[in-house]
Amino acid sequence: MQLQTATQWPPLPTLPENPSLLTRLRIGLRTLQVLKVEPTNPAWGALFYDSVEMGRCAELVRQFSRHSEGRRLLADKPSLSGDELNLESLEKLPEGTFGHTFARYYREKGLQPIVTLSPPKTDAEYIAKRLRETHDFVHLVTGYGTDVMGEMEVQAFALGNLHLRTSLVILLNSASQVSQHIPDFDAGVYIRRLWAAFRRGADSRQFASFRWEDHWATPMKLLAEQLVAPAEEWN
């Protein structure tokens, strides 16, 4: 079956001012159908976060105001948008560093970092932007793959680490279809792996306020040890 291209999607929905929870979920589920085919689509990705995650991002703003790291992040608002990253320069860092590993990850997979199309207007929108731009960093430090199983583990990890509603929506919406995309799917193993990833996220340092860009030269192994709890056995 041929996948749809961006030009075949209907017009991007408009999120009304002060939408109800039902409206947020309805628009969020519509955007998720696009993101299943084009997971890095910047416009639909931003709308997904805006429709589902803005309440949680507002909660994170309040949390950030209570500690120096969070206040510094909101004051500086560093950006990791793909159009502001120099992957060539990062790949020249010593092998095994976070920056080198990150750049090589994109080159080997033929990917490009997410580009943010519109600047955030509020602190909550900035955090939503930050979470979108740093999604692949979670893959790198946790070791979860980019196949369907690995993506679901990252979502379970994010749910445990940050209580992200987007992660919960993705996990629930994918529940009836995921077996078609995982070889030798076993429901019991799948649930145990998600539970282990959720617990690992809950036991790890909260990622939302972490200054990833300050650690390009940090050894990847050291960064993972500092940020992520050891992987649990799920057998």
- Please compute the mean of the pLDDT values over residues 91-96 and round it to a whole number: 97
Q: What pLDDT band is residue 51 in, cutting at 50, 70 and 90?
A: confident
Instruction: Work out the burial of residue 67: count CB atoms within 10 Å of its CB; fewer than 13 is exposed, 13-18 middle, 19 or more buried.
Output: exposed
- How far is Cα 73 from Cα 80, in angstroms, rounded to an integer? 13
82 belongs to a structural domain = yes
Q: What is the pLDDT of residue 210?
A: 96
Which DSSP symbol is given to 204?
S
Domain that holds residue 108: 20-227
Q: pTM of the entire structure? A: 0.85
- How far is Cα 162 from Cα 192, in angstroms, rounded to an integer? 20
Q: What is the pLDDT of residue 6?
A: 45
24 belongs to a structural domain = yes
Whether residue 214 is predicted with pLDDT greater than 90 in this model: the reply is yes
Q: Greater confidence, 52 or 172?
A: 172
10 belongs to a structural domain = no
Whether residue 68 is predicted with pLDDT greater than 50 in this model: the reply is yes
2 belongs to a structural domain = no
12 belongs to a structural domain = no
170 belongs to a structural domain = yes
3-state secondary structure of 95: coil
142 belongs to a structural domain = yes
- The number of folded domains in the chain is 1
Contact between 115 and 235 (Cβ < 8 Å)? no
14 belongs to a structural domain = no
Angle of CA points 40, 118, 104, to nearest 5°: 40
- Please compute the mean of the pLDDT values over residues 199-209 and round it to a whole number: 96
